Amino acid sequence: MSVETGSVKFAILGTARIATKVGEAIHNTEGAELELITSRTLENARAWKAEHGANVAAEGYEVALLHPEIQVVYIPLPPSMHKEWAVKAAEAGKHVLCEKPPALNSAEVKEMLAACRANGVQFMDGTMWSHTPRAQDMKTVLNSGQLGKLRRVVSAFSIQMPETPDQHRYISELGGGALYDIGWYCVRAALWAFDAVPTHVYASATYHRGVDKNAMAMMWFDDDRTASFDCGYDLTRRKWMEVVGESGNLVCDDFLSPWDLEKQRFWVHDDQGVATEHQSRSVVQEASMIESMVQILRSGELNRFWPQMALDNQRVVDALILSAKDGIKVEVN
């Protein structure tokens, strides 16, 4: 990977809802520039450029691959399209920032990572909260030994997600489903807290037209550690996690994105009922992710942690999806 100089130029594939926030983060990140917005239609690309700003608007995602100045391709397409465009971007020599889930299964993710490795480009998935100062602050507490041995992670992510015709989350062929989409983050919380991948998982889901709209999951790790979560499209908005040690626990009631940008908090409870509130630096998490990518590219060295985390996260989600379908405990491959 060459050492980057000047602004890192980004292209966005598709005018997704999330692209609006990430586009704004690119605008607000020093050393990043939004060069290109692409869409299936020129009309949409132009409308997006007029509203959110980009140097160029173009019809067709291929334009990003052919554009010599683009260094990073951001892929917020439906999950079923991620592999194709990540591999194409890597083969065109572009770094890849791909929304979660990175693909439909870990075999696809392995292909994507192989293409990135072969072409000397970075891969990162869009799990934004992992890049925030608050995630680092919480990790410092977990690593400090203050909670004793960490034994359990419990989390929940639910939202009310209406089924509209353009909602890819309810379309199986496009990679829809709550485990892929939002269970993803709860899996990440457990991998992140334990620095480990579970050996076995179990999940139970409720399906709507072949898509899991609600799920409960359990994960078994070695060394007597467990994690569980629930996720769903038909409950009120929740986005909390608890990491439980033998002598204390850490609670964050909005780890996926702060309820209030100015209050990026978490709490540490001891076993006598004393709770200490911690407040982290206020940031926009989309910007934390963009900064993270820019820093890696500036460093001149590919980062191996984020691609491995993406693959491990997908391996676990694969196993959960299989478990929910078959109704049995499944080994994580």
Ligand X SMILES: NC(=O)c1ccc[n+]([C@@H]2O[C@H](COP(=O)([O-])OP(=O)(O)OC[C@H]3O[C@@H](n4cnc5c(N)ncnc54)[C@H](OP(=O)(O)O)[C@@H]3O)[C@@H](O)[C@H]2O)c1
Of the candidate residues 27, 33, 40, 240, the single one contacting ligand X (CB under 6 A): 40
112 binds ligand X per the rule CB under 6 A: no
Binding mask 223-242 for ligand X (x = CB under 6 A): --------------------
Nearer to ligand X, 3 or 17 (CB): 17
17 binds ligand X per the rule CB under 6 A: yes
Q: Hey, is 59 helix, strand or coil?
A: strand
Is 266 in contact with 68 (CB distance < 8 Å)?
A: no
Nearer to ligand X, 202 or 229 (CB): 229
- Residues near 102 by beta carbon (within 8 Å), at least 6 away in sequence: 79, 82, 83, 86, 108, 109, 112, 123, 125, 310, 314
Nearer to ligand X, 23 or 79 (CB): 79
Percent of the chain that is helix, strand, coil (3-state, to 5): 40, 30, 30
| Part in contact with ligand X (CB under 6 A); list of ranges 10-18, 275-283, 310-318, 324-332 | 10-18
- Strands (DSSP E) found in the chain: 8-13, 32-39, 56-59, 72-75, 95-98, 123-125, 150-160, 200-208, 211-221, 225-232, 234-245, 248-252, 264-270, 275-280, 330-331
Of the candidate residues 4, 99, 254, 291, the single one contacting ligand X (CB under 6 A): 99
Nearer to ligand X, 76 or 248 (CB): 76
* Beta strand 72-75 pairing with 8-13: parallel
Range 170-229, binding ligand X (CB under 6 A): 174, 181
Amino acid at residue number 256 = L
Binding mask 53-82 for ligand X (x = CB under 6 A): -----------------------xxxx---
Residues in the site for ligand X, rule: CB under 6 A? Answer: 14-18, 39-40, 44, 76-79, 99-100, 126, 128, 168, 174, 181
